[in-house]
Homo-oligomer: A and B are copies of this chain.
């Protein structure tokens, strides 16, 4: 993996990654010339016992570009700079212009609840220069590069004392609120272990302490044995609709043996994980012969300075559709009680995905 670290005219960081050497003459571009004014802050939710981040300037984050303007396409003319320069690179990572978390955050208001600077970092990951491509369509070695990039970002961000958790994710499709369709994901680097990762760590740590094995490791062993919900089975990686899916087409992707984070993947695991990911995404798109929206998040070990032998790197994918025409809405029981109700059996949805044939070179 080759990389080139640059700084944008408005002060934000940009790093280009490639499978080939990158010309050191490339220069960072930005649609903005001045640094962003205003910093986010955190407020404590005393009833839920969690932090919420407030970044009021994000309301202005659409700046009424012409409909054909794509800020993630390469800059073709210095008069109309985008977020990324022309040149021979595969993946670009840069600071979100409207971050929900910012390492430079400082002042906080005095309120009826505790407040704190919203330290952290929000990065955009442009998956490819091709605006018409998709993550599913990228070649395997490009997807492997993405796994490397996620690893590199996790290491760089996690090394900062302020950062306790790094979450790479992709929101894909207008159905999940995405307005910008150039293939891209995001990375949030949090100053705390957020509530859901904290919960996953807690259940995994309890299991690890009791059994000396990983919780997800044992579940994967059982899912491979059962077979009925498997979507991909490789030498080192696996994908399946979990028996406890909360979304009809929910899929998890993981190494078979526990790996704490991207940086710990060996070459065989990385190759197989890329193949598992591509297989799942191609099956999604193949299911109804159209682009399939989803939220994909990658869970890994916290970067809070503690040992996490219980961690097991994996992705969870949550598609919003129940049927080709009907969305699953999170409503009263899910959002207010945290108690998920499912209309579909995971076994039936797994069978649908199993029947989609994909051909990967």
Q: Give the interface of A toward B (CB within 8 A).
A: 43-56, 58-59, 61, 100, 111-113, 165, 167, 169-171, 176-177, 186, 188, 190, 194-197, 199-200, 202-204, 207, 215-216, 219, 222-223, 225-226, 242-246, 295, 297, 299, 316, 318, 322-323, 327, 329-333, 335-345, 348
Contacts and interface: CB of A to CB of B under 8 A. Distances in A.
A338 B46 contact: no
Nearest to A48: B199
Given A188-B332, A331-B295, A46 B244 contact: yes
Contacts of A223: 112
A101 to B, nearest CB: 8
A228 to B, nearest CB: 9
Nearest to A335: B295
A96 to B, nearest CB: 11
12 contacts: A45-B244, A48-B196, A49-B202, A52-B339, A52-B340, A59-B323, A100-B333, A177-B327, A195-B338, A196-B338, A197-B337, A318-B336
Nearest to A199: B48
Given A167-B337, A200-B47, A329-B177, A113 B244 contact: yes
B338 A50 contact: yes
Contact of A55 (B195, B216, B342): B342
B190 A337 contact: yes
A339 B188 contact: yes
Contacts of A323: 59
Given A47-B216, A197-B337, 5 more contacts: A44-B244, A50-B340, A170-B332, A176-B331, A295-B336
B203 A48 contact: yes
Number of copies: 2
Contacts of A165: 337
A100 B341 contact: yes
A358 to B, nearest CB: 25
A201 to B, nearest CB: 10
A225 B167 CA distance: 39
Contacts of A51: 339
Given A188-B337, A219-B112, A56 B331 contact: no
Contact of A337 (B196, B207, B246, B335): B196
Nearest to A49: B203
A327 to B, nearest CB: 7
A-B pairs, top 10 by smallest CB distance, nearest first, are: A177-B329, A297-B336, A195-B338, A169-B332, A196-B338, A194-B337, A194-B339, A100-B341, A112-B222, A45-B244
Contacts of A171: 329, 331-332
Contact of A47 (B47, B59, B203): B203
Given A45-B246, A194-B339, A219-B46, A332 B167 contact: yes
